[in-house]
Amino acid sequence: MVKIDLEGVSKRFGSVIAVDNVSLSVSSGELFVLLGPSGCGKTTILRIIAGLETPTSGRVYFDGVDVTDMPSGKRGVGMVFQSYAVWPHMKVYDNIALPLRIKKLPQSEIDARVRSAARMLNIENLLERYPFQLSGGEKQRVAVARAIAVEPRVLLMDEPLSNLDALLRVQARAEIKRLQRELKITTIYVTHDQVEAMALADRIAVMNKGRVMQVGTVDEVYNKPLNRFVAHFIGSSMNFVEGTITDRGVDIGFALIPYSSVPDELVGKKVSVGIRPEDIYLEPIQGGVVLKGRVVLIENLASEYIIHIDVSGTLLRAKTKLYPQGEEVRLYIHPSKVHVFDTITENRIHIA
Amino acid sequence: MVKIDLEGVSKRFGSVIAVDNVSLSVSSGELFVLLGPSGCGKTTILRIIAGLETPTSGRVYFDGVDVTDMPSGKRGVGMVFQSYAVWPHMKVYDNIALPLRIKKLPQSEIDARVRSAARMLNIENLLERYPFQLSGGEKQRVAVARAIAVEPRVLLMDEPLSNLDALLRVQARAEIKRLQRELKITTIYVTHDQVEAMALADRIAVMNKGRVMQVGTVDEVYNKPLNRFVAHFIGSSMNFVEGTITDRGVDIGFALIPYSSVPDELVGKKVSVGIRPEDIYLEPIQGGVVLKGRVVLIENLASEYIIHIDVSGTLLRAKTKLYPQGEEVRLYIHPSKVHVFDTITENRIHIA
Amino acid sequence: MPSPLRKHIPYILVAPSLAYLAFFISYPIFYTFSLALFGNPSPMVEVMTSPRLGEVALYTTLIIATVIPAQIVIAIFASLFFLNRFRGRELVLYLFIAPLAINEVAAALIWYTMLSSSGFLNKLLINTGVISAPIYFFGYEFIDRTLLAIFLTEVWRATPIVFIIIYAGMQMISRDYLEAADVFGLNLWQKLRYIILPLIKPYIQTALIIRTLFALQVVGPIFILAGEYVRVLATEVVYWYSMRLNPGVASAWALLIGLVTLLLGGLYIKLLRPSAGAT
Amino acid sequence: MPSPLRKHIPYILVAPSLAYLAFFISYPIFYTFSLALFGNPSPMVEVMTSPRLGEVALYTTLIIATVIPAQIVIAIFASLFFLNRFRGRELVLYLFIAPLAINEVAAALIWYTMLSSSGFLNKLLINTGVISAPIYFFGYEFIDRTLLAIFLTEVWRATPIVFIIIYAGMQMISRDYLEAADVFGLNLWQKLRYIILPLIKPYIQTALIIRTLFALQVVGPIFILAGEYVRVLATEVVYWYSMRLNPGVASAWALLIGLVTLLLGGLYIKLLRPSAGAT
């Protein structure tokens, strides 16, 4: 299993900068997720690692060996495409076997590998089918089986679950996680779905506009987002309120969020304050700041409610298991669950 | 605002029965959601109401008037298509205005209606754009604006949010809910996304294989699913365990879920027992049944964990905010949160 | 393998294609140019000042300006018709495009036979008492009717190709666009005018370009139906080459065909610019 | 409006189309049938027992069996070539399909001129000293070389249409299928063999059918390059009609063309059944 390093990788398409000076290290055996909105460059990075694109500048290393100019087929990567790219004119068996035949492996070895991969993905009964006879979930398994049958040094997955429906997606992601744990292949997984990213990842790189915004574990990117973009993108969509830092805390107009040790140089700074819907409570909490608001809309998700509340003209969303009693409600937020970002640079301001 | 009734509506395509003897009543001003997996017939029902399909048998009434054979254009419906169907060769203004021009409304009236609809959907600045210059979310708003500008008696929406990305979808669904509350147009909304359905609906009809499985409010379909299909489809995907009813409760092999008043005639019946991941606790609850298991996989979603636990060979998923301490864990479930279904008919067995 | 070499592989592999292009395609074209332009007097100048030019321009324009619009209109209505699913649709469709399988010369011969003074049409009309003496379609004195015969033959023979293009275009229109029109109360004619025609513009354009290209090249049918007395650009090429043994002037006429094709093609592209975003 | 009436509207609206079909399309076709089959002796029987049949079959087969495969192979390689994005690609592409804009008769005249005893090729070869006396391509004694000239002309003229079809097919192949092949180590030839060719089978089939259809109808170029001594199905139609004034036998030959077209079309469809699921 291989360690992958990207050193200052950039990629331009004409005048568009798809990837902008990205350096990353993926540890051996790790499940590393590239997360970001469409067009953020995550797929381009994956394709550069696969050898399907040549970077405009920068180098790619597999275990310290420069593979930047190595043809894709020589890199020993297995790839699962978003469209699955299961060749439509071949049976499932031949789809998995063709890459092995190309390598001129003995027939017995090919058969053994195809059947072993099929067993792992639970598609042994589909080997004689054509792709058009398969459901989306089955095609996805075939694509994964093809990728692991070549016994790759690196497994690359480009949004492999995005074409499945919600229930199946939740099951399939647990299967992928279990399979990766078992095979211990260094895996790079691209997705735009932050829940999927969190559920799968050992570490996540959050990307935006060709740049890496933050690399970290799930808890790091969720609890300490380094900038407004990461805060907005991870977790259920955050409430943002404009405010100003004072010597006693952050003034957000309709309330003051108290902090004890505000450095003098920050006083007067304009900030964006982010609060996650799940961090707004309808019942008193210890050390909580209280806000008064009016309920404008309730979305009933059965196991919880999303409550849209007008607080002095600002609309906040709260996620709670309590159904609000009456139109007027009190909200409670804890200063430690409030994220403060510089309005101009959008970077996190560490304040306590 | 109109009341809609379907009476024994069926639709066959060749030998395929898309809709199988469906009767429904949608109240005046209600937001009614048709929910089900793809191919369940929900879109066909919407198209029959729109007048785009003629039912093979059965009748459709608008306020008691039989409209089964009335051409679509005469029914006074506004429709938002899944693909939006915003005509690509016309500017946004003309897209909204064309249906009004066809009705030969005076120019001033047309202009007023287009601008009012655009204002409501916040697309006033897009009126001179062509559809290819719009994002998916903007196209969706144009489609809604076009549908409400005709001042329809019924608003029909066919998965209008399915082509948007996750963040936008959550925002757009709240907007649709607010708009519908404001306009009070009878609205029928088709989706395969159960979260969306719950967030929006006054009432939900859950469909499967051309039939209506259950009609009810969000709390009804979530807390008292009438059959295994509804239980599985609503909420995060349920754990199912096979069991047998005894005189003291339901025996699921590795535990007994106690019920005090089991009718004699049910004793010995084979049942499927459904437990939602959010109803499995890692800490003791009052009146809870305890199970022992071994953690096999943890998905960290930051604000909660999905924990895959092996309980005597059966895999259960629990959704919890607690991180399990060690491999061996105790699980607690409450009999009132356990759903019991007949293994053969798959219908709910009421037991307490 | 170092990156620069990899980049050149496609070029190296296709060197034979380039050679093929250069010698097999380009040479004959440039050869025609040189034949048409150089000489004393230049054949091109000869053609442009010849008295035949006016006559050729008239008939060429007349044929193209009647045949092609008729074909487009027929093709549009036929496409609307075939969009309906009905029993035996496939059979009728094959019948409709059957003339494609018939050689242009054979097609002209069929129509010549049918329209001749002792042909089917005259027999029918005489036997039913509509006329008492045969109608003559062919001969220098009946040049109007000969043009009608050419029109019928060309429409019969080449409408299927226009139909195939326009039908393909109509099938590409998303069903949703038409259903939205239904829901919002557009009737059939309003759908045609506001939705279908604007959306198939690119296909109409393609059909116009292809048909003009081919219509400018029709020789056989005109020789068969009109002998030497209806002169168009394409027949001039053959006439000057084969009968007057003057490859220079023939090449000049051929070059004119090329120029007119380019000109009309450009005009169609300009006039029928697809509406923004229509795809 | 009651439902049954609504259902019939499309039919009522298109009655004119049906009338058009019946009289304008079907009649001429049936007329040809009756000319070919009825008579004493039946022209069809006459043709099937005529000594010319063997000769016609030989030359028709020879031309089709050499020209069409050559066109397919050239078109496949050209398509592979044009799939690469390179500078000036559009220009080269237009140049490649330029012969489409040239009339078949004009094309034949160009090649006749180039290959004639005093034409460009002979001048070039004599001036460079490769040969001392001109090579004769035309005339009954040089029938092999005439066939070569026909081959060259047809390949030059009609390969672009094959190219357009096959190129369209290759562009339809999802990039992902080819990139998966790259990732899994297939080289260019393996990609062609295992991925591209199986996936463009339906397009090769279409190209074969269209080209066979049109190749069976070529008259002008053969008359120009080979006069009367290379006889194929299509030239027989014209010969019997115009020179022997026998519409019956001409129709019988025309009918034979139709039959052979259907036969070969069916054969291609059977042999090149698209692989399951390839779309």
pLDDT digits (tens, 9 = 90+) for C6-34: 555 555 555 666 666 666 677 777 777 88
Task: Report pLDDT for B207.
Answer: 97
Collect all residues from A whose CB is shorter than 8 A from any CB in B: 37-38, 165-167, 170-171, 173-174, 177-178, 181, 192-195, 198-200, 218-219, 222-223, 233-237, 276, 278, 296-297, 299-303, 306, 308
Question: Mean pLDDT, to the nearest integer, of C79-96?
Answer: 80
**Percent of chain D surpassing pLDDT 90:** 23
- Report CB contact under 8 Å: A236, B301: no
Task: Report pLDDT for D141.
Answer: 84
B64 to B2, B28, B59, B60, C70: CA distances (angstroms): 9, 12, 11, 9, 50
- Among B329-338, C160-169, C255-264, D31-40, the least confident range: D31-40
Question: Mean pLDDT, to the nearest integer, of C185-193?
Answer: 92
A284 to A281, B328, C228, D61: CA distances (angstroms): 7, 34, 102, 93
Nearest alpha carbon to residue B159 among B36, B300, B296? B36
Cis peptide before C43 (omega within 30 of 0): no
pTM value?
0.82
Closest Cα in chain D, distance from residue A140 (Å) = 14
Neighbouring CB atoms inside 10 A of A184's CB total 12
pLDDT in tens, A159-207: 999 888 777 888 899 999 999 999 999 999 999 999 999 999 999 999 9
Query: CA angle at residue A211 from A72 to A54, to 5 degrees?
Result: 20
Give the H/E segment covering residue C208: helix C197-215
User: Is the predicted pLDDT of residue A246 greater than 60, yes or no?
Assistant: yes
Tally the C-alpha atoms within 13 A of residue A87's C-alpha that lie toward its C-beta: 28
Question: Mean pLDDT, to the nearest integer, of A290-308?
Answer: 93
Question: What residue of D is the nearest CA neighbor of A73?
Answer: D185
Cis peptide before D41 (omega within 30 of 0): yes
Q: What is the DSSP letter of B41?
A: S
The answer to whether the beta carbons of residues A270 and A253 sit under 8 Å apart is no
Question: Which residue is it, tokens 């608001």?
Answer: A293
- Report CB contact under 8 Å: A235, B302: yes
Q: What is the DSSP letter of B254?
A: S
Tally the C-alpha atoms within 13 A of residue B59's C-alpha that lie toward its C-beta: 7
Task: Report pLDDT for D3.
Answer: 45
Give the nearest partner residue to C29 out of D92, D98, D250, using CB atoms: D98
Collect all residues from B whose CB is shorter than 8 A from any CB in A: 37-38, 165-167, 170-171, 173-174, 177-178, 181, 192-195, 198-200, 218-219, 222-223, 233-237, 276, 278, 296-297, 299-303, 306, 308
| 3-class SS of residue C46 | helix
Where is mean pLDDT largest: B186-190, C2-6, D246-250?
A: B186-190
User: Is the predicted pLDDT of residue A114 greater than 90, yes or no?
Assistant: yes
User: Is the predicted pLDDT of residue D10 greater than 60, yes or no?
Assistant: no
- Among C44-53, D20-29, D43-52, D154-163, the least confident range: D20-29
User: Is the predicted pLDDT of residue C35 greater than 90, yes or no?
Assistant: no
Residue D1: pLDDT band (50, 70, 90) is very low
Closest Cα in chain B, distance from residue D4 (Å) = 10
User: Is the predicted pLDDT of residue D154 greater than 70, yes or no?
Assistant: yes
N- to C-terminal Cα separation, chain B = 42
Residue D279: pLDDT band (50, 70, 90) is very low
User: Is the predicted pLDDT of residue B85 greater than 90, yes or no?
Assistant: yes
Task: Report pLDDT for B205.
Answer: 97
Q: Between D13 and C259, where is the model more confident?
A: C259
- Report CB contact under 8 Å: C183, B52: yes
Q: Between D277 and A20, where is the model more confident?
A: A20
Closest Cα in chain C, distance from residue A334 (Å) = 50
Question: Which residue is it, tokens 């640079």?
Answer: A345
- Among B11-25, B274-288, C239-253, the least confident range: C239-253
By residue count, chain C amounts to: 279
Cα separation, A69 vs A59, in Å, equals: 9
Give the nearest partner residue to A72 out of D183, D195, D277, using CB atoms: D183
Question: Mean pLDDT, to the nearest integer, of D244-272?
Answer: 84
Q: Between C106 and A32, where is the model more confident?
A: A32
User: What is the residue type of A309?
Assistant: I
CA torsion through residues A62, A68, A70, A76, sign: positive
Interface of A with C in 34-73 (CB under 8 A): 54, 68-69, 71
Nearest alpha carbon to residue A279 among B177, B325, B302? B302
From chain D, the residues in CB contact with B71 under 8 A are: 1, 6
User: Is the predicted pLDDT of residue A149 greater than 50, yes or no?
Assistant: yes
Q: Between C28 and A328, where is the model more confident?
A: A328
Q: What is the DSSP string of B185-224?
A: -EEEEEES-HHHHHHH-SEEEEEETTEEEEEE-HHHHHHS
Closest Cα in chain D, distance from residue B69 (Å) = 6
Q: Between D25 and D112, where is the model more confident?
A: D112
Cα separation, C44 vs C5, in Å, equals: 48
User: Is the predicted pLDDT of residue D277 greater than 70, yes or no?
Assistant: no
From chain C, the residues in CB contact with A52 under 8 A are: none
- Among A214-218, B217-221, C8-12, D260-264, the least confident range: C8-12
Task: Report pLDDT for D22.
Answer: 66
Exposure b/e, D193-212, CB count within 10 A at least 16 = b: ebbbeebbbbbbbbbbbbbb
> 3-state SS string over chain D?
CCHHHHHHHHHHHCHHHHHHHHHHHHHHHHHHHHHHHCCCCCHHHHHHCCCHHHHHHHHHHHHHHHHHHHHHHHHHHHHHHHHCCCCCHHHHHHHHHHHHHCCHHHHHHHHHHHHCCCCHHHHHHHHCCCCCCCCCCCCHHHHHHHHHHHHHHHHHHHHHHHHHHHHHHHHHCCHHHHHHHHHCCCCHHHHHHHHHHHHHHHHHHHHHHHHHHHHCCCCHHHHHHHCCCCCCHHHHHHHHHHHCCCHHHHHHHHHHHHHHHHHHHHHHHHHCCCCCCCC
Q: Following CA atoms C62, C64, C66, C72 in sequence, which dihedral angle do they give, to the nearest 10 degrees?
A: -170
Q: Which of C1, C74, C84, C113 to mutate to test the interface with D (most CBs of D within 10 A)?
A: C113
Q: Between C77 and B189, where is the model more confident?
A: B189
Task: Report pLDDT for B314.
Answer: 92
Subunits with at least 3 CB pairs below 8 A relative to chain A?
B, C, D
By residue count, chain A amounts to: 352
Subunits with at least 3 CB pairs below 8 A relative to chain C?
A, B, D
Cα separation, D48 vs D61, in Å, equals: 17
Cα separation, A276 vs B301, in Å, equals: 14
Closest Cα in chain D, distance from residue C64 (Å) = 16
User: What is the residue type of A335?
Assistant: P
- Report CB contact under 8 Å: A73, D275: no
Cβ neighbours for B89, distance < 8 A, ≥ 6 positions apart: B130, C198, C199, C274, C275, C276, C277, C278
C139 to C147, C228, C230: CA distances (angstroms): 11, 10, 10
Query: CA angle at residue D88 from D84 to D91, to 5 degrees?
Result: 105
Q: Between D119 and A324, where is the model more confident?
A: A324
Question: Mean pLDDT, to the nearest integer, of A284-288?
Answer: 91
Cα separation, D235 vs C31, in Å, equals: 28
Residue D253 CB-density burial (10 A; 0-12 exposed, 13-18 middle, 19+ buried): buried
B-to-C residue pairs, Cβ atoms closer than 8 angstroms? 72
User: Is the predicted pLDDT of residue D11 greater than 70, yes or no?
Assistant: no
Cα separation, A42 vs A206, in Å, equals: 9
Cα separation, C118 vs A174, in Å, equals: 84
- Report CB contact under 8 Å: D198, A102: no
- Among B74-78, B95-99, B176-180, D134-138, the least confident range: D134-138
Closest Cα in chain B, distance from residue C275 (Å) = 5
Interface of C with A in 4-43 (CB under 8 A): 6
**Complete edge-to-edge strand list for the sheet that includes strand B338-342:** B256-258, B249-251, B239-246, B270-275, B338-342
Give the H/E segment covering residue A158: strand A154-158
What domains sit in chain D, N to C, each tagged with a CATH number?
52-102+141-271 (1.10.3720.10)
Closest Cα in chain C, distance from residue D44 (Å) = 16
Question: Mean pLDDT, to the nearest integer, of C222-249?
Answer: 83
Cα separation, B235 vs B228, in Å, equals: 12
Task: Report pLDDT for C22.
Answer: 66
pLDDT in tens, A259-279: 988 898 999 999 999 999 999
Neighbouring CB atoms inside 10 A of A65's CB total 9
pLDDT in tens, D67-76: 999 999 999 9
Cα separation, A281 vs A320, in Å, equals: 7
Q: Between B294 and D30, where is the model more confident?
A: B294
Task: Report pLDDT for C192.
Answer: 93
The answer to whether the beta carbons of residues D274 and D198 sit under 8 Å apart is no
- Among B343-352, C79-88, C184-193, the least confident range: C79-88
Task: Report pLDDT for B197.
Answer: 96
**Tokens representing D229?**
């001594």
| 3-class SS of residue A33 | strand
β partners of residue B214: B206
From chain B, the residues in CB contact with C177 under 8 A are: 85, 87-88
Q: Which of D182, D183, D189, D272 to mutate to test the interface with A (most CBs of A within 10 A)?
A: D183
Q: Which of B89, B103, B129 to mutate to test the interface with C (most CBs of C within 10 A)?
A: B89
The answer to whether the beta carbons of residues B181 and B103 sit under 8 Å apart is no
CA torsion through residues A94, A95, A98, A99, sign: negative
The answer to whether the beta carbons of residues A187 and A32 sit under 8 Å apart is yes
Task: Report pLDDT for A272.
Answer: 95
The answer to whether the beta carbons of residues D219 and A87 sit under 8 Å apart is no
Asked if the C-beta of B232 comes within 8 angstroms of chain C's C-beta atoms, the answer is: no
From chain D, the residues in CB contact with C100 under 8 A are: 213
Question: What residue of D is the nearest CA neighbor of C21?
Answer: D96
**Tokens representing B332?**
């607690």
Question: What residue of B is the nearest CA neighbor of D2?
Answer: B69
Q: Between B278 and C31, where is the model more confident?
A: B278
| 3-class SS of residue B21 | strand
Question: Which residue is it, tokens 């009052």?
Answer: B286
Question: Mean pLDDT, to the nearest integer, of D15-30?
Answer: 69
Closest Cα in chain C, distance from residue B103 (Å) = 8
- Report CB contact under 8 Å: D182, A81: no
- Report CB contact under 8 Å: A165, B199: no
For chain A, where are the alpha helices, taking DSSP H only? 42-50, 92-102, 107-121, 136-149, 166-183, 194-200, 218-223, 228-233
Asked if the C-beta of B28 comes within 8 angstroms of chain C's C-beta atoms, the answer is: no
